[in-house]
Amino acid sequence: MASAPSVQRFPLAPALTGAAELSSLTELSNFAAPAGLDPQLERFLHQASSLLCQWLGQAESGSPLPALSVLPAVEPEFDGLPAERLLADLQLVMEGAFNPNHPGALAHLDPPPLAASIAADLICAGLNNNLLAEELSPSLTRLERSLCSWLAQQFGLGDQAGGVAASGGSLSNLMALVTARRSRGLGCRADAVVLCSADAHVSFDKAMAVMGLPAEALIRLPVDAQGQLEAAALAERLDQLAAAGIPVLAVVATAGTTVRGAIDPLTAIAALCRRHGHWLHVDGAIGAVFALVPLQRQRLLGLELADSITVNPQKLLGITKTSSLLLLAEPALLQAAFATGLPYMEPSWGASHGGESGLQGSRPAEILKLWLGLRQLGLAGIAALVDGAIQRRRQLASLLAVDPRLELLGGPLHLLAFRPRGLDPQGAEDWSSRTRQALLAEQLMLSRPWYQGHHHLKAVLGNPHTQTSHLERLARIVQENLPHG
């Protein structure tokens, strides 16, 4: 067994090393005293947040992806641990954590955490309310309802619009399809299909499995050179399905594909859905937040024609995970799909209990960190985040485009994938793996998606700490690692 690492190797917060501090911390009780402020709890939370702030502040001196670290013991001991050992254990786990606050963290849709969101997550845990039912979350249920309505209205879904928070976009997408199926009376049809593009998210494959539909029920249509669903191919397929009498459960358009940030032609797809009477779900897990910025809205024309929209504020805005919403023009359809009656709860005094408006039962008030985060950013702050991300994507694209050996796959958002021209799949795999390592050695982390038969490198430029100098270094390392000839 590995011996416990010394305190020197993983220094704790300075205040923690004082002996007097340690002895008072040992008195931490399991539950906060209900009859007055609990000084031990207060100090414990101060110390924990101090550890966190130090970790966030040391991001740049480390790597986005640290080497494997020593983990503390996982099993509880017979006697419960005192506060200082809990904090030391926490510190060990933190040492091995991926650090989204590092300016070179450019691999995924996981930005640094927003300050207000961190605080709201702590408060959320402390309140320990339950969005299952109103009496378990009176203020938070109303907050969720109101914020979902506001966001849905911002996206143009209308005065009656609303929705529900979900623990991730995969769940939002699943709930959208279940709601669509129910609204079209297709619950018993084993032959119903869903149409989407080849680049739509893998969560739709999972949704098919959960809904008891065969994998082939998800019809993936080709994308054009920009990675957008071809509306003409969709039109043709919808006509064929209609002629064959095969029911369509929903059409999925993606606003921001995962590899290159492409936006499907929403208006044209919506027109086809209207003509056939099909449900339009827009997976805007990545792209929908861009519609909150007036100057970006034109990229998302047609979003307002959706029946349902998935949006993941966790992906660019820095709302701490998880933060996803399913928004609908007619939120009552959510209850039609999911309400079972909650016989052990008081009747709802609003629209419906949270646990009746989606798949999840007990769930945390994830809305709190979204609400406080948006309030901290303000509309100008949201615009600055979005514009900065697009600006960095443009900057990196022009740095890389200098070399004609590279093929760039971008879209209008903040994602950029690329690979050298003329490599076979094995060559692309070797190149991507070698280059990712070379980048990691200089604290730059990119991802390596397999896309259209080849590995690529992909940069997600949502990290506000990333500077021009990081992008220049990135482009230099990429060029140094290009295959010769």
Question: Which residues of the chain form contacts with ligand PLP (CB under 6 A)?
Answer: 109, 168-170, 173, 201, 203, 254, 256, 258, 283, 285-286, 312, 324
Residue 291 Cβ, how far from ligand PLP at the closest point, in Å? 15
- Whose Cβ is closer to ligand PLP: residue 51's or residue 445's? 445
Residue 176, both tokens: 């959208």
- Whose Cβ is closer to ligand PLP: residue 173's or residue 466's? 173
- Whose Cβ is closer to ligand PLP: residue 229's or residue 399's? 229
C-alpha distances in angstroms, 100 versus 10, 104, 359, 432, 446?
20, 9, 30, 22, 12
CA–CA separation, 404 and 414 (whole Å): 21
Residue 103 Cβ, how far from ligand PLP at the closest point, in Å? 22
Residue 199 Cβ, how far from ligand PLP at the closest point, in Å? 9
- Whose Cβ is closer to ligand PLP: residue 143's or residue 286's? 286
CB-closest chain residue to ligand PLP: 169
Neighbours of 476 (CB within 10 A): 12
Residue 6 Cβ, how far from ligand PLP at the closest point, in Å? 38
> Which of 68-92 are b and which e, b meaning 16 or more Cβ less than 10 Å from the residue's Cβ?
eeeebeeeeeeeebebbebbbbbbb
CA–CA separation, 274 and 323 (whole Å): 30
Residue 198 Cβ, how far from ligand PLP at the closest point, in Å? 13
Q: Is 182 helix (H, G, I), strand (E, B) or coil?
A: helix
Residue 256 Cβ, how far from ligand PLP at the closest point, in Å? 6
366 sits in the region (left: phi over 0; alpha: psi -120 to 50; else beta) called: alpha
C-alpha distances in angstroms, 86 versus 7, 222, 354?
13, 52, 34
Helices (H), 166-289: 169-183, 203-210, 231-244, 266-276
- Whose Cβ is closer to ligand PLP: residue 203's or residue 360's? 203
Whether residue 206 contacts residue 177, with contact meaning beta carbons closer than 8 Å, is answered with: no
- Whose Cβ is closer to ligand PLP: residue 281's or residue 470's? 281
Closest CA to 117 of 313, 312, 381, 384: 313
Residue 482's contacts (CB-CB under 8 Å, 6 or more residues apart) are 403, 405, 406, 420, 431
Residue 445 Cβ, how far from ligand PLP at the closest point, in Å? 17
- Whose Cβ is closer to ligand PLP: residue 312's or residue 443's? 312
Residue 415: strand pairing partners = 460
Residue 445: strand pairing partners = 105
- Residue linked to tokens 């029946």: 307
- Whose Cβ is closer to ligand PLP: residue 137's or residue 258's? 258
Residue 317 Cβ, how far from ligand PLP at the closest point, in Å? 13
Residue 319 Cβ, how far from ligand PLP at the closest point, in Å? 11
- Residue linked to tokens 């009176």: 138
- Whose Cβ is closer to ligand PLP: residue 145's or residue 260's? 260
Residue 185, both tokens: 């009376």
Residue 447, both tokens: 């991802």
Residue 255 Cβ, how far from ligand PLP at the closest point, in Å? 8
Residue 447 Cβ, how far from ligand PLP at the closest point, in Å? 12
CA–CA separation, 184 and 250 (whole Å): 9
What's the helix, strand, coil split of the chain in %, to 5?
45, 15, 40
- Whose Cβ is closer to ligand PLP: residue 287's or residue 420's? 287
- Whose Cβ is closer to ligand PLP: residue 129's or residue 324's? 324
